[in-house]
A = this chain, B = another copy of it.
Amino acid sequence: MSKVKILNDPVYGFISIPYGIVFDLVEHPYFQRLRRIKQVSLTHYVYPGALHTRFHHALGAYHLTCQAIDVLRSKGTEITAAEAEAVGIAILLHDIGHGPFSHTLEHTLINITHEQLSVMIMEKLNQEFEGKLSLAIEIFNNRYHKHFLHQLVSGQLDMDRMDYLNRDSFFTGVSEGVIGYDRIIKMLAVHNNHLVVEEKGIYSIEKFLIARRLMYWQVYLHKTVLSAEQMMIQVLRRAKMLRHRGIKLGVQGSLNYFLENTFTQQDFSKNKSILLDRFASLDDTDIAFAIKGWQNHFDPVLSFLAKSLISRRLFKLEFQDQAPRQDDINFIRQKIEKQFPFSKDVANFLLIVGKETNTAYSTSKEEILILLKTGEVKPMSLVSNHGIQPKMFTKHYLCYPKEIIKE
Complex: how many Å from CA A308 to CA B385? 37
Q: A349 at interface (Cβ–Cβ under 8 A)? A: no
Q: Which of A32, A49, A59, A292: most chain B CB closer than 10 A?
A: A49
A-B contact sample (20 more), CB < 8 A, given A11-B49, A176-B207, A285-B289: A1-B198, A1-B371, A2-B186, A6-B183, A7-B48, A8-B47, A8-B48, A8-B172, A9-B48, A10-B171, A10-B172, A13-B183, A35-B48, A35-B312, A49-B52, A49-B56, A175-B178, A213-B386, A252-B293, A281-B292
Q: A151 at interface (Cβ–Cβ under 8 A)? A: no
Q: A74 at interface (Cβ–Cβ under 8 A)? A: yes
A8-B173 CB under 8 A given contacts A178-B178, A189-B1, A198-B2: yes
Please report which residues of chain A, range 177-223, place their CB below 8 angstroms from some CB of chain B when the two chains form the complex.
Answer: 178-180, 182-183, 186, 189, 198, 203-204, 206-207, 210, 213-214, 217-218
Flag A211-239 by CB within 8 Å of B: 1 or 0 each: 00110011000000000000000000000
In the assembled complex, which residues on chain B have CB atoms less than 8 Å from the CB atom of A56?
48-49
Q: A51 at interface (Cβ–Cβ under 8 A)? A: yes
Residue of B at shortest CB range from A57?
B48
A48-B55 CB under 8 A given contacts A9-B173, A14-B183, A204-B176: yes
Residue of B at shortest CB range from A47?
B8
Q: A170 at interface (Cβ–Cβ under 8 A)? A: yes
Could you show 17 A-B contacts with beta carbons less than 8 Å apart?
A1-B371, A2-B75, A2-B186, A8-B172, A8-B173, A10-B171, A13-B182, A14-B186, A16-B186, A29-B311, A32-B312, A51-B52, A175-B179, A176-B204, A176-B207, A210-B210, A288-B289
Q: Are A51 and B48 in contact (CB under 8 A)?
A: no
Q: Are A293 and B253 in contact (CB under 8 A)?
A: yes
Flag A140-183 by CB within 8 Å of B: 1 or 0 each: 00000000000000000000000000000011111110111011
Complex: how many Å from CA A13 to CA B171? 11
Q: Which residues of A contact B (CB under 8 A)?
A: 1-4, 6-11, 13-14, 16, 27, 29, 32, 35-36, 44, 46-49, 51-53, 55-56, 59, 74-76, 170-176, 178-180, 182-183, 186, 189, 198, 203-204, 206-207, 210, 213-214, 217-218, 250, 252-253, 281, 285-286, 288-289, 292-293, 310-312, 371, 386
A10-B170 CB under 8 A given contacts A51-B52, A179-B175: yes
A8-B49 CB under 8 A given contacts A29-B311, A253-B293: yes
Complex: how many Å from CA A212 to CA B165? 21
Complex: how many Å from CA A10 to CA B48? 9
In the assembled complex, which residues on chain B have CB atoms less than 8 Å from the CB atom of A310?
29, 32
